[in-house]
Amino acid sequence: MLKKRIAIFASGSGSNAQKIMEHFKKHPEAEVAIVLSNNPNAYVIQRADNFEVPSHVFDRFDFYNTDNIVDLLRKMEIDIIVLAGFLWLIPENLLNAFPNKIINIHPALLPKYGGKGMYGDRVHQAVLSNKETESGITIHFVNAQFDEGEVIHQSRFRIEQGDDIEMIKFKCQQLEHLHYPRVVENLLKKMKTI
Ligand code: GAR
């Protein structure tokens, strides 16, 4: 049986991409087929190389003014698109080509602390400034708005007195790394694609 094929989009370090590549490295039914990035200097490209996963860098024009990325993903017979620290809004042509097959992860309990400009440390800073007693992660389907698609999974942690941004980020990352690969796998199963 042909393995189901995952495309990961990432703009930065790619620690989540790494966990997903690890999870599917020897998986009998699915594989990471390609890593795509808008940032030629993103560390995620190096991580993809380390796993011998091909990577592709694109620019804003390619992404928003052509069908090049859709064509590439179709040619590669991609079954699911996983955003992992990818910071650009997904254009209509890509959403239409992969309906309910694009998912994202966010380091907060959406709908709180989402939306344009809310990513990475900005999210953690806002959570801290508002003296929240808990935060968490959200994995959700992607639509044409930032952080607004249907929620697939949330998990949460307590914020203890004295927790700083680094600690909140660490707690988020632990949950992201634990859950994202498993959620991708479950979703592929539910889509009856594995
Ligand atoms: C992750 O924490 C992810 O939740 C966040 O970017 C980080 C990427 O880390 N995404 C967003 O904030 C999207 N709005 P990584 O490059 O180490 O996987």
What gap in Å lies between CA 9 and CA 135, rounded to an integer?
25
Q: What are the structural domain ranges in the chain? A: 4-106+138-154+179-190
Cα 1 to ligand 1 centroid, rounded to whole Å: 33
Q: Which of 45, 119, 135 to mutate to test the pocket of ligand 1 (most atoms within 8 A of CB)?
A: 119
DSSP class per residue in 34-49: EEEES-TT-HHHHHHH
pLDDT for 194: 46
pLDDT for 1: 75
pLDDT for 192: 63
Q: What is the pTM of this model?
A: 0.96
pLDDT tens, per residue, the chain with 194 residues: 789 999 999 999 999 999 999 999 999 999 999 999 999 999 999 999 999 999 999 999 999 999 999 999 999 999 999 999 999 999 999 999 999 999 999 999 999 999 999 998 999 999 999 999 999 999 999 999 989 999 999 999 999 999 999 999 999 999 999 999 999 999 999 886 44
The backbone region for 131, taken as left when phi is positive above 0, alpha when psi lies in -120 to 50, beta otherwise, is: left
Residue bearing tokens 């049986």: 1
Residue bearing tokens 């992660």: 137
Q: Which residues line ligand 1 (CB under 6 A)?
A: 10, 12-17, 84-85, 105-107, 119-120, 123, 147, 172, 176
Third-level CATH fold of 4-106+138-154+179-190: Rossmann fold (3.40.50)
Cis peptide before 111 (omega within 30 of 0): yes
The amino acid sitting at 149 is G
For residue 95 the two structure tokens come to 């959403």
Task: Report the nearest atom of ligand 1 relative to the CA of 10.
Answer: 16
